Amino acid sequence: MMLMLRSPLRALVLALALVAAVPAVAQTDADVLRAKDAFDRGDQRRLDALAPQLAGHILAPYVTYWQLKLGIDAADAAAVRTFLAREAGSPLADRLRVDWLKSLARRGLWSDFDADYVMLPGEDTELACFAAQRKWQLEGDAALASIRAAWFTGQSTPDACEPLFAALFARGDLTQDDVRARLRLANEAGNTRLAETLGAQMTGNARITARELALVTRDPVHALAKGAFAWKTPAGRELALYALERSARKDAGAAHAAWVKWRDRLPAADRLYGNRRLAYQAARQLDPDALDWFRESGAPAGSVDEIAWRVRAALRAQAWNEVLASLAALPDAEQQDPAWRYWKARALATTGRKADADALYAGLLSQVGFYGLLAAEALGQGPQQVAALRSQPVTIDPTELRTFAQRYDVRRVTKLIELDLRADALREWAYIMREQPDERLLLAAEFARRAGLYDRAINAAERTTTRHDFGMRYLTPFRAEFTAAARDQGVDEALLYGIARQESRFVPDIVSSAGAVGLMQLMPRTARWVAGKMARTDFNPAQITSAGVNTQFGAFYFRYWHDRLGERPAITAAAYNAGPSRAQAWRPAAAPLEGAIWVETIPFSETRDYVKKVLANTVLYARALNLPYVSLTDRLGVVTPRGSDNATVASGSP
């Protein structure tokens, strides 16, 4: 579905007159879209035919980029370098440079590679391996050390890395132990194809054939329960661990019952590794035995993910000393994450070390969001008292605003959005915002707000470091529609805004990759279901992008599940993101659980982050809308066990 966001651009022209100096172009936007379609289809001939008539269009560089990218292996070096120089500092130049360098390396044109290579932020593995190949050619085997770390991944690596890995094996800098380590990473990632390749790469009695692996893959639970592995061989032990991983991912409880029958046949290191992986999967399934099974693996150790879930299992069990011990096992950089700083403070406070806890809480007050708010409340403060939440809007100079609007790259962003080339627009905007001081960021935010580009306004305002404008961060567009929906459906208006800010950033006709539409990101099937529940016989799918309809339907859907899931906003927000059946299944099985702990232990990282942001948004929107203050702690409340309050999820519900 094409998202034609023309109304914000009209608002920009009519209300601000910010782009009055932009010259008109004869070329049509439709031709740009035709050129993009030709590029997407790989139709070089059609693209080349369209390009000349778009030479004066503001998006002409995109057309040139599409031409060069499609024909990158035959592109003229001078043409590429001219483009890179002309578009320097833009996402187009950086993207083309990566494609160009990879093409040169594949064709063995190393002198050209040397001339054009620049290490870019976030350089991908393939280009890093090509660069390492060239360094190896020039400097010899000493250059190989830089690429060794790329071996240790559960994902497949590009072909460009293979000659380097082969050289490392030949030198003895990668060994069979390293193959086994990567085999386990592949197993943990569920990458069966890579596991097959690595199993075959093992030697002697450590070698695992594709057939052996396939037999276990077919029914890992049965294989583990049967225990018919050659326990005395390295291959047999790895197959057993492979079966354990795949079994535990399906049902940790059943896997544990089978595992305990056989695990003593493994060497201690392998047995402890298996215990840890089983406990990790159990923790992600919210199994109440997860912490006990982690204890069977010894002191906290393993990957960051494994230790993090040991922390969560300890939180779920409210074993606060174990929370502290597990947090201490995280790498130093991870311990600085606001989540772990907050939970360390909670554990210290709960175990009688209030002064240390208060010092940690105080350090979190600079955080705008979930943990900053919780820390403030732990110290007896509210949002009005937190320094990080003091709004300091800038005074906008109209001349500076016009100058910003007339920038070529800014006009390019607005045109990209108008033509629904949204991914490109987001990349362009990110480049414009790089390394800007707070005042310039807030100027850009004001430009975007007045243009109706609310998502870009929020994006710019969120980047500030010391001077914040919370009216800009927490915009309230479509106020009439949100107020009416909140009133009509009996939902907190601040909560509706909190959801919409997270779902759509107030782009009214945005469509997600999954097909969710509009401010409240409703799936068409859900919209039809809501229309039926509301007896809206006049509803048709085209109405879903209407701000009025979308907010009403979203509010109805939220309230419907809020009533059926125990009237707890955290659970309902999780249901809105991941579905009501999952949210219901994540509730504790027995004893009630503090809401903050429940949120921290949501198994899906996307949903966990979503719920935190929605609830923090809600507190800050209540402040922005001058609504009665309800603390985040109170909004989180206590999550009661499944079945304790007649909470039900009907089958077939969207």
Asked if 279 and 297 touch (Cβ cutoff 8 Å), the reply is yes
Q: Over 50: is that where the pLDDT of 338 sits?
A: yes
The confidence band for 270, taking pLDDT boundaries of 50, 70 and 90, is very high
In a shared domain, residues 232 and 196 = yes
In a shared domain, residues 504 and 381 = no
Quick one: average pLDDT of 69-98? 96
In a shared domain, residues 584 and 539 = yes
Q: Over 70: is that where the pLDDT of 12 sits?
A: no
Q: Kindly list the distances between the CA atom of residue 11 and the CA atoms of 2, 20, 25, in Å, as whole numbers in the listed order.
A: 20, 13, 20
Per residue in 599-618, is it b (16+ CB within 10 Å) or e — as a string?
A: bbbbbeeebbebbbbbbbbb
CB count in 10 Å sphere of residue 343: 26
Domain-terminating residue out of 473, 499, 516: 473
In a shared domain, residues 219 and 324 = yes
State pLDDT tens for residues 186-229: 999 999 999 999 999 999 999 999 999 999 999 999 999 999 99
Asked if 217 and 249 touch (Cβ cutoff 8 Å), the reply is no
Quick one: average pLDDT of 511-533? 95
For the annotated catalytic residues, the residue numbers are 503
Q: Minimal CA–CA distance to 50: which of 42, 62, 38, 58? A: 38
DSSP output for 18-33:
TTTTSPP-SS-HHHHH
CATH value at residue 533: 1.10.530.10
Q: Over 60: is that where the pLDDT of 7 sits?
A: no
pLDDT at position 122: 77
Examine residue 645 and state whether it is found in any structural domain, yes or no: no
Q: Kindly list the distances between the CA atom of residue 26 and the CA atoms of 63, 410, 640, in Å, as whole numbers in the listed order.
A: 16, 20, 64
In a shared domain, residues 278 and 222 = yes
In a shared domain, residues 372 and 331 = no
State pLDDT tens for residues 631-645: 999 999 999 998 766
Q: 418 or 17: which carries more pLDDT confidence?
A: 418
Examine residue 70 and state whether it is found in any structural domain, yes or no: yes
Domain-terminating residue out of 447, 473, 499: 473
Q: Over 50: is that where the pLDDT of 3 sits?
A: no
Domain-terminating residue out of 473, 498, 533: 473
State pLDDT tens for residues 227-247: 999 999 999 999 999 999 999
- Percentage above 70 pLDDT, the chain: 93
For 595, the domain range is: 479-639
Spatial separation of the C-alpha atoms in residues 591 and 644, rounded to whole Å: 10
Residue 627 structure tokens: 């609504």
Name the domain count of the chain.
4
Residue 308 structure tokens: 């993090």
Q: Over 80: is that where the pLDDT of 6 sits?
A: no
Examine residue 33 and state whether it is found in any structural domain, yes or no: yes
Percent of residues in the chain assigned helix, strand, coil, to nearest 5: 70, 0, 30
Is the backbone of residue 202 left (phi > 0), alpha (psi -120 to 50) or beta?
Answer: beta
Spatial separation of the C-alpha atoms in residues 559 and 189, rounded to whole Å: 37
